[in-house]
Amino acid sequence: MKRQLVLEDGTIFVGEAFGSEKETIGEIVFHTGSSGYQEVISDPTNYGQIIAFTFPQIGNYGINRDDFESIQPSIKGVVVKEAADFPSNWRSSMSLPDYLKQKDIPGVCGIDTRKLTRLIRSKGTMKAAICGMGENVDILVSRLQAVEFPTDQVKRVSATKPYPSPGRGKSVVVVDFGVKHGILRELTKRGCDITVVPYHTKADDILALQPDGIVLSNGPGNPEDVREALDMIQAVQRAVPLFAIGLGHQLFALANGCKTVKMSMGHRGSSYPVKDLETGKVLFTSQNHSYEVAEGSIDAKILSITCRALNDRSIEGLEHRDYPSFSVQFEPESSPGSEDAKFLFDRFLQVMNEENTSKGMVDQHA
């Protein structure tokens, strides 16, 4: 069945339907990874987005049991050149189209995704709709221009109640702004005793858990919409080591007096070069963000910049001058994409250790 992809600027792409056949509206963005679609589709950071893949054949290795980044995907649609109807991989348990149907997520294939990408590159991310051929485009376009996207995405993807993921190592509280399984996986791998708490949990409640460290997770949307978290951050960073990722990084920056701005098209891909300003080395990082910490909004007395994107020089990492807290804009847990930055979780553990010893506590877990 034919379907159309309509953009806020009036551009229309006609393709074939796959997945769910309902109409959908969302913010259209493109992702440049040639693999990792399952992780991208299930990444809560992508809440509300219609994701266009620049790689033309998506779904080749199917959908498997293991590679989800959340239980319930929260994206609004998928746009591809071709969606594989016959996946082939030993772990594959169903095809991408079947999965999207099951999760009631619409998709459209047969699209000139390179044309779309170039359009987004020149005009920035846009609002878009996937709908049937019947739709009156003019009305739809004005609807698109009018539509206001929800600002409570974090609320919609965050846990509602705290839950544990027990371990015998460091006690880590993960503040869930839309946490990817990858972050929990990396902490678990390192033996951490994890408690995941909702995004609006108060500092006292967090500290009451006597964590060795706190992770501010990735998440969707505009950090400005999650101001309620800032007090918490200001309070906890004084007390325990803090590691902030993605949206968490942006909130950490806001909490320490920075501003954040929306990027024209953001960074979404498996392998973005990021320069470590200390060592001068470049690491390749998995990225997925629309907002960034505003250049020049940083108070050098409070925060120092630890790394930058090699190409657009945007800020990729921060460190607190007085507290054992650091943050990265990219996704050190990878899944999908480059795993070069996983060592940051080891660094986090190291920081926690140093803190315990410097606090004169005996580390009962070491």
Which residue in this structure is represented by tokens 């994409």? 337
CB 14 to another protein: min, Å: 9
CB 11 to another protein: min, Å: 11
**Residues 9 to 48 in contact with another protein, rule: CB under 8 A:** 13, 30, 32-36, 38-39
Task: Assess contact for 355 and 365: CB atoms under 8 A.
Answer: no
CB 8 to another protein: min, Å: 19
CB 29 to another protein: min, Å: 12
DSSP state letters, 79-120: E-SEE-SS---TTEEE-HHHHHHHTT-EEEES--HHHHHHHH
DSSP letter assigned to residue 295? T
* CA-to-CA separations, 60 to 87, 92, 95, 100, in angstroms, rounded: 5, 10, 8, 15
Report the residue number, 9 or 231, with the smaller CB distance to another protein. 9
Report the residue number, 63 or 175, with the smaller CB distance to another protein. 63
Contact pick of 95, 158, 290, 338 for another protein (by CB under 8 A): 338
**Residues 6 or more apart whose Cβ sits within 8 Å of residue 90:** none
**Residues 53 to 82 in contact with another protein, rule: CB under 8 A:** 54-57, 60-61, 64, 66-67, 81-82
Candidates 228-236, 251-259, 274-282, 318-326; binding stretch for another protein (CB under 8 A):
274-282
Which residue in this structure is represented by tokens 């994107």? 309
Contact pick of 49, 113, 158, 260 for another protein (by CB under 8 A): 113
Contact pick of 133, 147, 282, 361 for another protein (by CB under 8 A): 282
How many residues of this chain bind another protein (CB under 8 A)?
53
Token couple for 187: 């902490």
Rounded Cα gap, residues 257 and 150, in angstroms: 25
CA dihedral 223, 227, 229, 235 (to 10 degrees): 120
CB 124 to another protein: min, Å: 13
Rounded Cα gap, residues 177 and 181, in angstroms: 12
Examine residue 280 and tell whether it contacts another protein (CB under 8 A): yes
Q: Which residues bind another protein (CB under 8 A)?
A: 13, 30, 32-36, 38-39, 54-57, 60-61, 64, 66-67, 81-82, 84, 86-91, 112-115, 117-118, 121, 265, 269-273, 275, 280-282, 284, 310-311, 334-339
